[in-house]
Structure 1
Amino acid sequence: MTSLARMDRLAALRATIADIERRPALAEAAATPQSGADGFILPTPGLVQEVFTDERRHAGATLGFALAQARGLLSAERPAVVYLQLQAEAQEMGLPYGPGLVSLGFDPAALVLIRPANIVELLWAAEEAIACRAVAAVLADVAGQPKALNFTASRRLSLRAASSGASAFFLRYGAWREASAAQLRWHIAPALSGPLSFDARASGETRWQARLEKGAITNTHNQEWLLEWTENGFEIIDTGSASPAQPLAQPALSRPVPADLADRHPQTA
């Protein structure tokens, strides 16, 4: 090969590499989290999000938060959400509860459960599921700190999500944080449910305390919200005007009566 031909080939290779390097940046730029009129994030396809909580006993809060976003990504073209969980962690962490999903407005038939044997298989399954055009979102429940779930792995998933249009949510536990290519990182904690208008002592709609630790959302400068679930999605609760529920006033009694159980149910009932 002559020196001129070698130079031409090197120039062609440089142009090819430059084109490859430009594509991921353009793909990721298309997946920008947006906020609605209430200032909170709208379900955005093509993102990788980490959802952290401090303790495993709050796993229901992280799962509910991720499923609530995934519900908004479901469509006729993408009717499925894939839930990944390691076999060894299934006994301790449990599974999504069907009637609870219904109360969240999520059809249990849309949830595909997969239990890989190890973290390498879980990451492979997550990447393949994200590439599937019928999948709206992938939820990966990872309780430990596996070495395989590093920045390189998260970068691969981020690029795959940006190119395919599906989203990925990694449910994590603990106060530690590691480098990742996730566009958003949340810290989620369960909050006291809202009061019911007809019974101030009963539990109302589910609430989350959500704090955005990494990333940014357009049209808002907030980083922390108190969220309540409604049939139309998340609603932000104004903590400045919120007040604890007061028990219902009861008239004075003219004679002794049996003590109340629960919410004004007598012992003799």
Structure 2
Amino acid sequence: MQSESALLARLRGTIAQAKAVASAHPPVPLGSEAADRALGGGLKRDGLHEFYAAEPQDSPAALAMALLCAVRCRATGHGAPLLWLRERKARSDGQPYGPGLAELGIDPDSVILLDLPDLMAVLRAGADSLHHGGATAALLEMPGKASAFDLTASRRLALAAARMGMMVLVARGCAQPVPSVAHSRWRVASAPSAALAADAPGHPVFDLTLIRHRGGKEGIDLRLEWNRDEQSFRAPLSGGVSAPAIGGADRSGGRRAA
């Protein structure tokens, strides 16, 4: 049997190693102080995160939220490109538009778009991209049922993300959550934005519900606004005043401020 001093030394070594790994891949803060505090610092940088549309019409919002989280990861990281992997059939929902990305504060040159024939090709390309590294984050767009994205496929992506220190974001439109090893899983809906000066369209606003979290923080409701100039999320502004950002469902199905 190990002596007490040897056991303590081993435990100290294990703790030091865990701290070193954590410091190498610090969480990605969303930018809202209250939201980041609730999430324990932000999203796991070397983790797998899923974004499900609350309703079919919210599919663009789920995709946008996943993309903006990838942008946030890049803004707080080493500035490597973003990988966006999508099935060719997703063209029917529209193609990424350079000026539109720029309007969100995204440099189109920072995004590498792979237009792939089917879901299996998306999963293979995602795994290969993680294996070789060189990117800040990988966004996998998976509309519809996507039966090939099962527990095994998610485990492969999560392990590769942890090994390479890359964030993996999966956007699911018109789909129901399925078992996976995702570090976090979100339900996303679009929310009304406040008009800017001269009645110009406001910043994108999202209603989010954290439906799974490996840190045990499920059930958090957030309303976040994207600030394109700072490439960061914040509590929505209403007449220049920060609106409540975190709450829960009341008995009528609405929201209450925390």
- TM-score, normalization by structure 2: 0.72
Structure 1 CA distance, aligned partners of 2:135 and 2:218? 31
Checking the alignment, whether the CA contact within 8 Å between 2:59 and 2:174 is kept in structure 1 is no
Structure 2 CA distance, aligned partners of 1:32 and 1:221? 21
Q: Displacement of 1:86 after TM fit?
A: 0.9
Structure 1 position 40 matched with structure 2 position 45: no
* 1:235 to 1:94, Cα distance in 2 relative to 1, 3 A: same
Question: Match for 1:52: what amino acid?
Answer: Y
2:234 counterpart residue number: 235
Q: Which blocks of at least 5 consecutive residues in structure 1 are unaligned?
A: 1-21, 242-269
1:225 counterpart residue number: 222
Checking the alignment, whether the CA contact within 8 Å between 2:143 and 2:172 is kept in structure 1 is yes
- TM-score, normalization by structure 1: 0.69
What are the residue-to-residue correspondences of 1:244-259 with 2, within 5 Å?
none
Q: Displacement of 1:216 after TM fit?
A: 5.6
Question: Match for 1:122: what amino acid?
Answer: V
Question: Match for 2:158: what amino acid?
Answer: S
Q: Displacement of 1:239 after TM fit?
A: 4.4
Larger radius of gyration between Structure 1 and Structure 2: 1
Structure 1 position 155 matched with structure 2 position 155: yes
Which aligned segments of 4 or more residues in structure 1 are displaced greater than 6 angstroms? none
Structure 1 CA distance, aligned partners of 2:83 and 2:32? 29
Single out whichever of 124-133 and 51-60 deviates more from structure 2. Answer: 51-60
Q: Which has the higher helix share?
A: 2
Secondary structure of 2:35's match?
coil
Checking the alignment, whether the CA contact within 8 Å between 1:49 and 1:170 is kept in structure 2 is yes
What are the residue-to-residue correspondences of 1:139-218 with 2, within 5 Å?
139-174=139-174, 176-196=176-196, 198-199=197-198, 201-215=199-213
What are the residue-to-residue correspondences of 1:2-13 with 2, within 5 Å?
none
Q: Displacement of 1:169 after TM fit?
A: 0.8
1:119 counterpart residue number: 119
Structure 1 CA distance, aligned partners of 2:67 and 2:143? 17
Can you list the C-alpha shifts for 1:95-146, whole angstroms capped at 9, x where unaligned? 2221121122211011111122222211110011122331111111111213
Checking the alignment, whether the CA contact within 8 Å between 2:49 and 2:170 is kept in structure 1 is yes
Structure 2 CA distance, aligned partners of 1:71 and 1:217? 23
Structure 2 CA distance, aligned partners of 1:80 and 1:175? 28
Structure 2 CA distance, aligned partners of 1:205 and 1:56? 22
* 1:58 to 1:117, Cα distance in 2 relative to 1, 3 A: same
Structure 1 CA distance, aligned partners of 2:62 and 2:68? 10
2:9 counterpart residue number: none
Can you list the C-alpha shifts for 1:218-260, whole angstroms capped at 9, x where unaligned? 9x8971111111122100235459xxxxxxxxxxxxxxxxxxx
Checking the alignment, whether the CA contact within 8 Å between 1:53 and 1:59 is kept in structure 2 is yes
- For these two proteins, the number of residue pairs brought into alignment is 212
Question: Match for 1:211: what amino acid?
Answer: T
Structure 2 CA distance, aligned partners of 1:118 and 1:74? 27
Secondary structure of 1:72's match?
helix
